[in-house]
Amino acid sequence: MNALTNRAKQVDRRKMNFLERLYLVAIFKGMMITFSHIFKKKPTINYPEKTRPFSPVFRGLHILNRDEEGRENCTACGLCAVACPAEAITMEAAERQPDEENLYREEKYAAKYEINMLRCIFCGLCEEACPKDAIYLSETFAPSDYQRKQFIYKKEELLIPHPIEKPEEYKKALGNRVKRETAN
Amino acid sequence: MLLAIDMALIIEKLVLIVIVVMASLVIAMYTTFAERKVAAILQDRRGPNRAGPFGLLQPLADGLKLFFKEEIIPNFSSKALFIIGPGLAMLTAIMAGAVVPWGDKVHFFDRDIALQIADVNVGILYVFAVVSMGVYGIMIGGWASNNKYSLMGALRAASQIISYELAMGISLIALLMVTGTLSLKEMVLDQQTGYWNIVYQPLGFLIFLICAFAECNRTPFDLAEAENELVGGYHVEYSSMKLGFYLFAEYINMFISSVIMATLFFGGYDIPFLNEANYDQNWMALFGVLMLMAKVVGFIFLFMWVRWTIPRFRYDQLMHLGWRVLIPLALFNMLLTGALVLLKQNGWHF
């Protein structure tokens, strides 16, 4: 029968010769291999001084988006809460008053918006479900904490900084996001 | 009738003892750190580098961790033996450093102080005797744990140690035929003027090295504490500082074995290719101590290098190696050395 490749090696069943039975030669060769590992480059990253590079589509912490004039995009429609498989998002809607036109984009806005980071599985379904490009997942990790209560992130912690009042922080928070192609 | 005691001598010896014991403990502490760093470097990663600059305070953190752990003493008959076991292991480990010549003579306060705690003329035999007593520490620990796995681990350790002591002793006899003296100080003085003993006894050194691995319970002979197989072997029931003593005694043993090997075969505190009499006595003594430490560091690195390269021996393979390979080899070495020494005394003709 023809072999498929020529990689098969014949099993060597000869008895060991004297040099092999000494084991010293084999041990020495092994020690040379381990010695050469001293001079190889280590793949360890010195966290937290350096962090590993993430791709632009990495699913990290949530950010509530604003438009170019600084108005919040979120209209508290609840599609993200319904899409979330872990039921981590809750919200309460409110009506926009006439003197708040520069704060919110549409007449309905989210007065309270909470995400429970301990429940969230960072799947990105909320980002896919949102029709207003109001929530997306950024590149940062969720930081650690000592109490469970601290992990329920409120709207203020999730909002992106104002692009006109705080342009550098806005730019930093924007990161390298690759915007998904949506209807809007 | 009162002996006329020389107070200066007593103070000198006390200071030497304190220095040697402290140095052994500190060096063993940093050997644990070096073990983790060397293991990491050989495995393509970095070792501990967070505790203090470059991780240098890591052994302090480990020691403190062991102190803060809970002392668990199992519920059984012999509490005394349980506590004596690790103490005995530590005692014999530190005692062996008493006859080693750490350096030449230094000249302070108008006295010539020899850097050796006890220059007995049975030097190497004393070391041997103390190391043999180290078996008791392991056996007592395994027995007093009241646990059949510890007992098996301790039995394996004890049988391993006594098997390899034989080959070590026989290779030592061959060395003694060459040097003609048991005293470690005389051996170093001979090596300063002649060649290092490694040139006269290469096979003897190899056998001694393999037996030293077995005596310290280091891989490839570490099935007494085989972490994967016996879950800790004879020290599985120990916690907190008693466990610390066992682990520490192993590292001190490693340090003392390195010192003995350096002294017996590699000239001790001798600096090669340098005639010490030409220079200032105190500085030469200091360089001698540093040279000995450099050789010891080389040996300790060798211990660790072999540990992270070779897999562990099975128990029957280990016994086979000790009794059926090393002892005949050591005997052959001894006979060959004896023949050559007689030839030399006879003027190289029959």
What local confidence, expressed as pLDDT, does residue B120 receive?
A: 87
Pairwise CB contact (< 8 Å): A42 & B45: yes
B187 close to B181: Cβ distance less than 8 angstroms = yes
Domain-by-domain residue ranges, chain B? Answer: 7-47+74-345
Q: What is the mean pLDDT of each run of 10 residues along chain B (350 residues)?
A: 72 90 91 91 88 87 88 79 89 90 83 84 90 88 82 85 91 92 90 88 93 86 65 74 86 92 89 78 87 93 91 87 92 94 86
CB < 8 Å to B41, chain A:
37-38
Residue A166 inside a domain? The answer is yes
CA gap B267, A60 in Å, rounded? 62
Nearest CB partner across the interface for A30, out of B43, B45, B309: B309
Residues facing residue A159 across a β-bridge:
A64
Asked whether residue A22 is assigned to any structural domain, the reply reads no
Q: What CATH number is attached to the domain comprising A142? A: 3.30.70.3270
Nearest residue in B to A48, CA atom = B50
CA A183/CA A13 separation, integer angstroms: 68
d(CA B212, CA B217): 9
Q: Where are the alpha helices (DSSP H) in chain A?
A: 18-21, 24-36, 79-83, 125-129, 155-158, 167-174
Domain range for A66: 62-174
- Tell the residue number behind the tokens 């070391």, with chain if given: B127
| Residue B311 forms contact with A (CB below 8 Å) | no
Residue A121 lies in a domain: yes
**Are residues B62 and B241 in contact, defined by beta-carbon separation less than 8 angstroms?**
no
Q: State in Å, rounded, how far the first CA of chain A is from the last one.
A: 63
Spell out where chain B has E strands.
Answer: 105-108, 111-114
Q: Is A10 exposed, middle or buried (0-12, 13-18, 19+ CB in 10 A)?
A: exposed
Give the closest of A35, A40, A46 to B44, CB-based: A40
Is the peptide bond between A48 and the residue preceding it cis, with omega within 30 degrees of 0?
yes
Tell me the pTM. Answer: 0.83
pLDDT at B332: 95
Residue A57 is assigned to a structural domain of this protein = no
Task: Report if residue A52 sits inside a domain.
Answer: no
pLDDT in tens, A124-169: 899 899 998 888 888 887 788 899 888 888 877 777 777 777 878 7
Instruction: Say if A6 falls within a structural domain.
Output: no
Which tens digit of pLDDT belongs to each residue from A11-43? 888 888 887 778 888 899 999 999 999 998 888
Query: How many domains does one find in chain A?
Result: 1
Question: Is A42 within a domain?
Answer: no
- CA torsion angle B260 B165 B221 B33 (round to 10): -30
